[in-house]
Chains A and B, each alone.
Chain A
Amino acid sequence: MAQTHVDIEHLKRARKRRDYGAIAITIFLSIGALVSLLPLVYLVCHAFKPMEELFLYPPRFFVKSPTTKNFSDLMNITSESLVPFSRYLFNTVFITVAYLFLLVWIGTMACYPLSKHKFPGHKALFTTVTTALMFVAAAAGIPLYIINTRLGLVDTYWVYIIPGLANPTCLFLLKQFLDQVPDSIFEAGKIDGASEWQLYTKIALPLLRNAQATVVILTFGGIWGDAGTATTYIYREQFKTLAFFMTTIGGGIARAGAQAAAALIMTLPGIIMFILQQSRVMDTMAHSGIK
C-alpha cells in the first residue's frame, strides 16, 4: 500500500517536471517561430502601407493606417501594360507547370538507375553531381548564353524550361529517398517478369510521390519568380513572364506601393502550395536525411 502511494507521488512529480519543460520549450520555440515569420509579416504589412509610411524615416515595421490603394494602383498599372496582363499570367503558369512536370519526370527517371542499378561508376557520377552543386553559377553564365543561342532556345518558351531540367539538388534528394526503398521490392517485381520501364512506373514512381512533392515545393519559388531569364534571353514582349512584369513596375517613387503589393501577390502561390503539401514535404525531409 505504502509502496503504491510513493509510486503515485513520484509519477505526479515527474508529470509536473515535464510540464515545466514543455512550457519552456513552447516559449522558446514561439520566439524562434516569430522571427521565422517576420519576413512574411513584413511583406504583408508593407503591401498595405500608404505612401507616407513607405518612405517614413526611420522606417516602421508594422503598418499604422492600412490601405488597399497599393492594390488598386497595381490594377491600374496592369491595365496599361504592353501585352495584355493575362498573357504574362498565362506565360508564367504555362512555364511553371511544364517545367515542374518535366523536372520531376526526368529527375525520377535518372534517380532510379542511380539508386537501384549499382552500375560501374555510379559513385563517381554522384560525386560529380554533388560537386557541381558547389560551383558558382554566375561564372558559367556567358558560356551558357552562347550554348542557348546555338541551340536556338533564345526567345522561345524553351529557354525557361530546358536549361534547368538537369537539377543536381533534385537528383540528390530523389536518390536519397529511393535509397530508403528496399531493393527486395524491385527484385520481387523482376521475378514477376516486370520490365525496367514497369519497375520504374509501377514501383518507383508511386513510392517517390512524397519526394516529388518536395522537389516541386523547393523549385516552385525559383521558376515562379524567375525574372532573370526573361531579361537575358527574351526579346519579344509576349514571351515574358509575370515576374519580369513585376520588376518593370519598380523604379520611381510613385510606384513603390504597387511594387510592395506585387511582391506579396507573387509569394502567395508558393505559400498556398506549401500549406497544401506540407505533410508530404515533412515526410520526405525526414527520410532523405537518413542513410
Chain B
Amino acid sequence: MAKKVVKYKKQLAHKRTKRTLSFERRRQLEGLSFMVPWLLGFLIFILIPLALSIKISFYSPTLNDLYRGKYVGLANYKEVIKNPSFGQAVFEAFMNSLYQVPLVVGFALFVAVLLKQEFPGRVIFRVIFFIPVILSGVVMSYLFSEDVGSVSVFSQLVQSNTGFMSRLFGGALTTHIGNIMWSSSVEILIFLAALQSVPDILYEVVELDGANAWERFWHITLPYISPFVILNCIYALVDSFVDARNPVMSILYGLMVQGTKYGVASALSWFYMLLSLITILIFILLTRRWLR
C-alpha cells in the first residue's frame, strides 16, 4: 500500500515537472517569436552579404558575373599581402589606433571625472560634450571633405588667429587634438555611468583616513571602474578600425568604385577584419585579470 502511494506520488511529481517544463518552453518559444523579424533582417541584410563576400574573396568576379567568376583560390589574399600600398595602409591604420586609443580613453576618463564633480552648469557641459555624436553623420563628413586648399577646419582656426596660436600648435597637431576630443563623446558617457556606480561610502571612508583627491582616484576610482576602462578601450579600438577616414577604408572604397577588383577588395576587408579581431582578442586576453 505504502509502496503504491510512493509510486503514485513519484508519477505525479514526474508529470508535474514535465508539465511545467513544457509550459516554460512554450513561453520561451512565444518570446523567441518576437525576435523573428529582427533575425530575418540580420540574416538577409548582414549575414548573407558577409558570407557572399567571403566566397567572392576566393574568386575573380566581374560586375556582370559576380557568382560565376573564376575560382582563384588564395590569389586575392596573396595580392593583398604582396601589394606594398595595402600593407602600408593597414600598418598606418593600426599605428593610428595604437596612439589614438590610449589618448581617447585617457581624455574621456579625465573629462568624465571632472563632469562627475558638483559645479554649476554641469548639465550644460554634459550636453556639449555629447554634441559631436549628433553631428557625426552629416556634418563631420562635410567638414572633413571641405578641404579648401587641403587645410582642415582646425588649421583654419589657427591661421585666423595668426601669431601666438599658430606658433603654439602646428596645424597637424591641433587637428589630432580635435579628432581625439570629437571621438571621445561616447567614451565619456560610458565613464560617467561607471563613475556613478562607485559607492560613495568608499570615498567617505578613505576621506576619513585622510586621502587626498589624487589618492582617492588611484586607489578607489580607478580599481573600481577598471572593467569600464577595458570596455572603452575595446570600443575605441573598434571605432578607429571602422572609421571612414581610415586609410584602409579609402583604399576599399577606391577598389569598389573600380568594380573589376571586387575579389581583391573582399579579400582585403576580410584580412583587415581578421587582423582587428586578433588585436582585440589579444587585448582582452592581456587585460583579463583586471576584469571582474
Given A143-B53, A146-B66, also A136-B46 (CB < 8 A): no
User: Which of B35, B45, B47, B193 makes the CB contact (< 8 A) with A163?
Assistant: B45
Binary contact readout B190-204 vs A (1 if CB under 8 angstroms, 0 otherwise): 101110110000000
Binary contact readout B9-53 vs A (1 if CB under 8 angstroms, 0 otherwise): 000000000000000000110111011011111101111111011
Is B104 on the interface with A (CB-CB < 8 A)?
no
> B182 touching A26 by the CB < 8 A rule?
no
User: Which of A32, A136, A282 makes the CB contact (< 8 A) with B273?
Assistant: A136
Q: How far is the CA of A185 from the CA of B115 in the complex (A)?
A: 33
**B residues in contact with A196, CB < 8 Å:** 27, 30-31, 34
Binary contact readout A249-289 vs B (1 if CB under 8 angstroms, 0 otherwise): 00000000000000100110011001100100110011111
**A residues in contact with B194, CB < 8 Å:** 289-290
Q: Which of A195-212 contact B (CB under 8 A)?
A: 195-197, 200
> A138 touching B252 by the CB < 8 A rule?
yes
Q: How far is the CA of A190 from the CA of B26 in the complex (A)?
A: 13
Q: How far is the CA of A282 from the CA of B127 in the complex (A)?
A: 8
Q: Looking at the complex, which of A78-86, A87-95, A219-227 is the stretch in contact with chain B?
A: A219-227
Q: Which of B122-143 contact A (CB under 8 A)?
A: 125-140, 142-143
> B138 touching A266 by the CB < 8 A rule?
yes
Q: How far is the CA of A106 from the CA of B34 in the complex (A)?
A: 8
User: Which of A43, A60, A165, A221 makes the CB contact (< 8 A) with B143?
Assistant: A43
Is A33 on the interface with B (CB-CB < 8 A)?
yes
How many residues of chain A get a CB closer than 8 Å to chain B's CBs? 89
Q: Smallest CB–CB gap between A7 and chain B, Å? A: 15
Given A39-B182, A135-B273, also A25-B132 (CB < 8 A): no
> A225 touching B137 by the CB < 8 A rule?
yes
Is A77 on the interface with B (CB-CB < 8 A)?
no
Is A101 on the interface with B (CB-CB < 8 A)?
no
Q: How far is the CA of A61 from the CA of B166 in the complex (A)?
A: 14
Is B84 on the interface with A (CB-CB < 8 A)?
no
Number of A-B residue pairs at CB separation under 8 A? 261
Q: Smallest CB–CB gap between A137 and chain B, Å? A: 8
Q: How far is the CA of A162 from the CA of B288 in the complex (A)?
A: 39
Binary contact readout B275-289 vs A (1 if CB under 8 angstroms, 0 otherwise): 011001000000000
> B131 touching A26 by the CB < 8 A rule?
no
> B160 touching A139 by the CB < 8 A rule?
no
Q: Smallest CB–CB gap between A271 and chain B, Å? A: 6
> B159 touching A144 by the CB < 8 A rule?
no
- Between B27, B34, B52, B125, the greatest number of chain A beta carbons within 10 A of the residue's beta carbon is seen for B34
> A61 touching B132 by the CB < 8 A rule?
no
> A113 touching B31 by the CB < 8 A rule?
yes
> A59 touching B148 by the CB < 8 A rule?
yes
> B119 touching A22 by the CB < 8 A rule?
yes
**A residues in contact with B193, CB < 8 Å:** 285-290
> B125 touching A29 by the CB < 8 A rule?
yes
Q: How far is the CA of A218 from the CA of B135 in the complex (A)?
A: 10
**A residues in contact with B53, CB < 8 Å:** 139-140, 142-143
Q: Which residue of A lies closest to B189 (CB)?
A: A285
Q: How far is the CA of A195 from the CA of B109 in the complex (A)?
A: 44
Q: How far is the CA of A42 from the CA of B140 in the complex (A)?
A: 11
Q: Smallest CB–CB gap between A181 and chain B, Å? A: 15
Binary contact readout A51-87 vs B (1 if CB under 8 angstroms, 0 otherwise): 0001101111110000000000000000000000000
Q: How far is the CA of A38 from the CA of B153 in the complex (A)?
A: 9
Q: How far is the CA of A39 from the CA of B269 in the complex (A)?
A: 31
Is B89 on the interface with A (CB-CB < 8 A)?
no
Binary contact readout A125-140 vs B (1 if CB under 8 angstroms, 0 otherwise): 0000101111111111
Given A109-B38, A119-B32, also A286-B192 (CB < 8 A): yes
Q: How far is the CA of A221 from the CA of B280 in the complex (A)?
A: 29
> B50 touching A140 by the CB < 8 A rule?
yes
User: Which of B142, B151, B192, B270 makes the CB contact (< 8 A) with A139?
Assistant: B270
> B143 touching A39 by the CB < 8 A rule?
yes
Is A230 on the interface with B (CB-CB < 8 A)?
no
> A136 touching B34 by the CB < 8 A rule?
no
**A residues in contact with B121, CB < 8 Å:** 26
Q: Smallest CB–CB gap between B8 and chain A, Å? A: 29
Q: How far is the CA of A190 from the CA of B37 in the complex (A)?
A: 24
> B45 touching A166 by the CB < 8 A rule?
yes
**A residues in contact with B185, CB < 8 Å:** 36
> A134 touching B238 by the CB < 8 A rule?
yes
> A21 touching B270 by the CB < 8 A rule?
no
Q: Which of A125-180 contact B (CB under 8 A)?
A: 129, 131-144, 146-147, 151, 162-166, 168, 171
Is B178 on the interface with A (CB-CB < 8 A)?
yes
Q: Smallest CB–CB gap between A144 and chain B, Å? A: 4
- Residue pairs across A and B with Cβ atoms less than 8 A apart, 11 shown, are A36-B129, A38-B154, A46-B146, A57-B149, A110-B38, A135-B273, A139-B252, A166-B39, A196-B31, A286-B196, A288-B193
| The 5 A-B residue pairs with the shortest CB-CB distance in the complex, in nearest-first order | A166-B41, A139-B269, A110-B38, A221-B137, A289-B193
- Contact surface of B with A, Cβ cutoff 8 Å: 27-28, 30-32, 34-35, 37-42, 44-50, 52-53, 56, 63, 66, 111, 114-115, 117-121, 125-140, 142-143, 146, 148-149, 151, 153-154, 156-157, 159-160, 177-178, 181-182, 185, 189-190, 192-194, 196-197, 213, 227-228, 231, 238, 241-242, 249, 252-253, 256, 262, 265-266, 269-270, 272-273, 276-277, 280
